[in-house]
Structure 1
Amino acid sequence: MPYYVHGADQPDVLDGLIELSEAHWSYMDRFADRLILRGPTLSDDGEEHTGSVHVVDVADRAAAERFAYEEPYWSAGYYQPLTIARAVVLVDRPDDAPRALVTAEWEPADLTELAPSLLEDDRLSFVALLVEDDGSHSIGIVAAVAGAPSEAADVIRPAADGLTGGVAMTVTARRWQRGGRSQSDS
């Protein structure tokens, strides 16, 4: 069962992230075959690490929480509170192009279908609907979109509006790069 996990960096943690990077990589290596999506969020100029995103396939919420809370950066206190949500993966076209990661979150809404045109949009390399643990209601969407964050949010906003039926939502777009240990790192 896929779960979306996002941790935003606390201020001024770059030195600590660098210091713990091998522990982070070693921890992630244990989940490599279950990581559907992974990578850092970045500042607008792409120069600073601002957080980490993972979609991991685990047995249940308890396993997703263990994955998140046992991760070395979280254990060291480098993340602000985490977001953990069950994910229904609709598109996964891996590539290494720089992307914007767009998330929209809303109060639980009845599940509805996404417009097929969104899922066929070649600017999207990843789309997952975020749902309550029992799968009964949608609570958000996460997507990796080619383009600047401001443009990427405009790609996802109409789909999110259609999914919520007018329920208020929060849309966030950040620079993002698909991650993972490179062969030279192993």
Structure 2
Amino acid sequence: MQYFVYGRDRPGAFALKVSLKEDHWSFMDGYGELMVARGPTLTGDDEDAESTGSLHIVDLPDVDAARAFAYEEPYYRAGAFESVLLCRFHNVLGRTMWDFTGAVDGYGRFLVISMGESDPMPVRSKHLIVYGELLALDGEARLGRAALVEAPDRESAATLLPASGDSHPEVHFWRFGGRPAQRS
């Protein structure tokens, strides 16, 4: 079963996360082959951008393992996150971020989250890196959708997962994460 884990940074947590980067990576090394996608969300797409959160989509045996992954993680334990979104993830494309081959020069990468949908809407784009439904931990209720996408800008990224009712999609700058030169 795949799980979507998105820790939103609390204000002022950037320096703390920088100090814990090696601890975070060492923790994640234990999950390397189980990763579907990972990486930080950022204030922008330039080299000076600061982290605003940490995304992981990981294949784990059950809810208890997912909770351990989310809440034993060094950033969480040190208080770097304001909140953690933990959901089951139905991977519609059935691939990992490393399987994506459609990179376009000049496009940025984004995490788009659209909550509150009762029925999934089909999404088709060659710019989807990973895409799926967000489900309650028991796998029953649909909570929304999430996508890692490449797009020319935030506004274009938001159009890939249209708003549902009164909700608007969250759009975050995102980049592939992990140790340099490693898959996970």
**Mapping for residues 1-186 of structure 1, pairs under 5 Å:** 1-46=1-46, 47-91=49-93, 92=95, 94=98, 95=100, 98-106=108-116, 109=118, 111-112=119-120, 114-115=121-122, 118-119=123-124, 121-147=125-151, 148-157=153-162, 161=164, 167-183=165-181
SS in 2 for 1:5: strand
* Preserved CA contact (<8 Å) 1:101 1:149: no
Partner amino acid, structure 2, of 1:151 = S
Is the CA contact 1:106–1:170 (under 8 Å) kept in the aligned structure 2?
A: no
Name the SS for the 2:176 alignment partner: coil
For residues 31 and 45 of structure 2, the distance between their equivalents in structure 1, rounded to whole angstroms, comes to 30
Q: Does the 8 Å CA contact 2:9/2:83 hold for their aligned counterparts?
A: no
Does the residue aligned with 1:15 lie in a helix, a strand or coil?
A: helix
User: Which has the larger share of helix?
Assistant: 1
% identical aligned pairs: 34
| C-alpha displacement of 1:59 | 1.3
- Measured in 2, the distance between the counterparts of 1:34 and 1:14 equals 26
The alignment's TM-score, normalised by the length of structure 1, stands at: 0.83
Stretch of structure 1 that moved more, 10-19 or 86-95: 86-95
SS at match of 2:169: strand
Structure 1 unaligned segments of length 5 or more: list them: 162-166
CA contact (8 A) 1:88 1:129 kept: yes
Q: Could you say what the CA RMSD is over the residues aligned between the two structures, in angstroms?
A: 2.1
For residue 141 of structure 1, report the CA deviation from its aligned partner.
Answer: 0.5
CA distance in 2, matches of 1:168, 1:137: 19
Q: Deviations over 1:111-138 (max 9, x none)?
A: 55x43xx23x111111011112333331
Are residues 42 and 135 of structure 1, via their aligned partners in 2, closer, same or farther at CA, if it must alter by over 3 Å? same
Query: 1:50 Cα shift?
Result: 0.7
TM-score by length of 2: 0.84
